[in-house]
Amino acid sequence: MLTNEERRVGIYESYQPIRPDSVTPDTPLEALNLNWTERDLPERLRTRHVHRLHPYLGKFIPQLVEVFLRKFFQPRQTVLDPFVGSGTTLVQANELGIHSVGYDISAFNVMLCRAKTTQYDLKQARKEIYDALERARRATSHDDQLSLLDTSESYPNEESCDSEYLLTWYAPQALRELLAYRATIDQGDYEYKDLLRVILSRSARSARLTPHYELDFPKTPQREPYYCYKHRRVCEPTTEAFKFLERYSSDTLRRIREFAHVRTDARVNVYHADARTAEIPPVDGVITSPPYVGLIDYHDQHAYAYHLLGLENLSNLEIGAARNGASEKAKQLYVQDIVQVFRNALRAMPAGGWLIVVANDKHGLYPQIAQTLQVEPYAEIVRHVNRRTGRRSTEFFETVFVWRKP
């Protein structure tokens, strides 16, 4: 048990940053210096294998999850992430032989998690990835486009698209290529359609008419040459999508192969449901990073995927959505919602189970949440996040709240 001062501060500058694979159940919490630098954890390790199957804002790094899985969970136990997001907890749990359960109201997040954690027949996956790519190429090539489109109405082009969003954010050629790939998935007898849809979504993200430095937060369509702060030169707007489909097809295959070498047979279950009201099966504990107050609209960050894939949009159920702001009313509603999620999770946990919650609690809401839940606030470990890159390079601190069910 930590002292009050250690619990409150939790930055252990006298220690070297911890090596995640060195952590055991006996590792003292006060030894967990989580202030990794770029040298300690280069990007290639933070985004290894399927962790970078698709860009995602607001996710925590796998090494942080690994530390607390090793400290508080054993193989064959079950960890719950009620805000599953991009699936970091599920992937890391599987690597360590720990069963996992995840919930999310975002249909995109659930699709991405399933694509990351499916146990693939790699030969079949390769066959399907390159078959879909070739069919889409043929459907949009100058030689074959007319014959294919004339004989099959299921290969649409940009003129048949009725989505104002897609018509606004994509050049005609890019939209035609994306629609052809989508039709290929829909028509094809593919076993791994979620994986193909992730390739399509990732390509759609890159092919939008947006400056290269605004991929995370696009403002308006970019149709003229512009000075690019990312490349430090004048760039042209993106007008095609097929180069991205090719690039991400090979990258996706490489990543699922890499994960296949380290994955285990631990179960992974992902549900498109609201964790406030879902019937959660028995679990041993929780590791999660909840949404923050008034920071990110989680559906909107993947708007292109919702419009292109026709995913069910439940953005009205988001907790702490940016569009709701961070007023006192919004913060109290956030507290109520988070309490409801964790209360539901606690009902599925045994006494003595751990809740590990990673949050940038700049509004100081989590002590109130813990008090309302009547959990034991075992420790708070403050982490300096200083490896951010690009246009989102601002440093900040986040807290790992370690709670225990009485």
Walk me through the domains of the chain, giving residue ranges and CATH numbers. Answer: 4-117+263-301+312-404 (3.40.50.150), 122-259 (no CATH)
Percent of the chain exceeding pLDDT 70 equals: 89
Residue type, 206: S
Distance CA 114, CA 395 (A): 31
Only one residue has tokens 């720990």, namely 98
Whole-number Å distance between alpha carbons of 406 and 248 = 47
CA gap 9, 178 in Å, rounded:
50
* pLDDT (0 to 100) of residue 235: 92
DSSP code, position 21: G
- pLDDT score for 159: 63
- Whole-Å CA distances, 233 to 15, 222, 226, 229, 240: 43, 15, 8, 7, 20
Cα 202 to chain centroid, rounded: 12
> What pLDDT was estimated at residue 58?
80
The string over 15-41, giving b where at least 16 C-beta atoms fall within 10 Å of a residue's C-beta and e elsewhere, is: eebbebeebeeeeebbebbbbbeeeeb
Instruction: Give residue-wise pLDDT tens across range 271-286.
Output: 999 999 999 999 999 9
Length of the chain counted residue by residue? 406
* Confidence at residue 41, expressed as pLDDT on a 0 to 100 scale: 87
Rounded Cα gap, residues 387 and 23, in angstroms = 22
Are the C-beta atoms of residues 361 and 352 closer than 8 Å to each other? no
Identify the bridge partners of residue 376 per DSSP, sorted by sequence position: 404
Question: Can you list the residues of the chain whose pLDDT is less than 50?
Answer: 1-14, 143-153, 389-392
Burial class (CB in 10 A: 0-12, 13-18, 19+), 199: buried
